[in-house]
Amino acid sequence: MKTLSITSNSQKEILEETVSQLRKGGLVVFPSDTVYGLLVDATNEKAVQKLLKFKNRPAGKPISVFTTWNQLPHLAKVDKLRQKKLHELFPGPYTIILSSKHKTSLLLESEEKTLGVRIPNSRLIDELTTRYRKPITATSANLSGNSPHYSVSSLFNSLSEKKKNLIDLVIDAGTLPRNKPSTVVDMTKEKIKILRRGDVGLQENKVNISNSENETKRIAKNILRNISKEKNTKAIAFIIRGELGAGKTIFVKGIGEHLGIDNIISPTYVVMYEYKTSHKKVKKLIHADLYTITSPDEFKHLGIKEALEKNNVLCVEWGEKAGEILDILSEKTHIVYVDIKYLNQNKREIIYTV
């Protein structure tokens, strides 16, 4: 078994080694946008059998796959109506159940001949699936019936030596944010149905493209302005997700400017700043950065509950780590999920979900 750690300089090696192992029928532990997952080539029958042996997966229990937009129509049946809805949800923490075209191992399908597909909000998995050009299994890295894992050490502590010996490659990203597994949505029938709810429900995503920092600020202002008109009974919480350098702080600066605050700074090392506003309706802006949060206990000292008064706006950077406080935010605030995706040096895709 080989282990590679994710660093700023290791991505090329990680992709090359993972592709190599998948082509050889290997079993790979890999971080996703939710939990650690188990990857094998979804078209390789022997590799899928190895995966099922590792997980102790009962016959007839389906396993979803990571795919790309180009691959998706070849794997499952997607009409125009479903395609529109898929574009609202992907990329994101969703598993969509569709009628299969039987292009993957039949062991991955349900008894109803359906297939679960994922296009996650993960640049690394996006590059991997694009490079590999075949669907890859997207099941969580745990034995059937056990909880998912957010660290490699937690996974290994749960495994026997026999199980460990089945693993060919481990990609270690450290401790992942404690997000729930993906929301599972059945689109095989006329009425869309949620089968399992993760951290994000089934809402409409709205997409904006920014070509500059000023555009990102303008988009942030417009979102706050629109949300404020619709939601005025609770505080508003922006859960902002995106990779390092995507523009999360720039987005918050746009929120700040709308509220009359022009001195927003990143609170990475102090975790949370509080600003008084000159806005008629919003009393305070609370700006939190969860980048340095490493354990659930650290949330207890943030004073999140006290910050959620009706006339406040809360902006949480590195919202991927907000799993521990989502329950209280759901109760006390109107949550707006904001995903910022790096497209190139100047261009960003900003998706928000209310």
d(CA 206, CA 208): 7
Supply the mean pLDDT for the chain: 89
Which class would CATH give 2-196? alpha beta
Who has greater pLDDT, 204 or 16? 16
**Domain covering 205-353 in this structure, CATH number:** 3.40.50.300
Instruction: Strands of the chain (E only): list them.
Output: 2-5, 28-31, 36-39, 65-66, 94-99, 114-118, 136-137, 139-140, 169-172, 183-186, 193-196, 205-210, 235-241, 272-276, 284-289, 312-317, 333-342, 348-353
Q: What ranges do the domains of the chain cover? A: 2-196, 205-353
Q: What is the pLDDT of residues 18-47, one digit of tens each?
A: 999 999 999 999 999 888 999 999 999 999
Q: Strand, helix or coil at 111? A: coil
Beta bridge partners of 87: none
CB within 8 Å of 59: residues ≥ 6 apart: none
DSSP string computed for 163-193: HHTT--EEEE--SPP-PPPPEEEE-SSSS-E
Q: What is the mean pLDDT of residues 44-53?
A: 96
Q: What's the confidence (pLDDT) of residue 144? A: 83
Q: What is the mean pLDDT of residues 131-160?
A: 91
Q: What is the pLDDT of residues 164-218, one digit of tens each?
A: 999 999 999 998 877 777 889 999 988 888 887 766 655 566 889 999 999 999 9
Q: Assess whether the region 2-196 and the region 205-353 belong to the same CATH fold.
A: no
Q: What's the confidence (pLDDT) of residue 325? A: 84
Is the per-residue pLDDT at 237 higher than 90?
A: yes
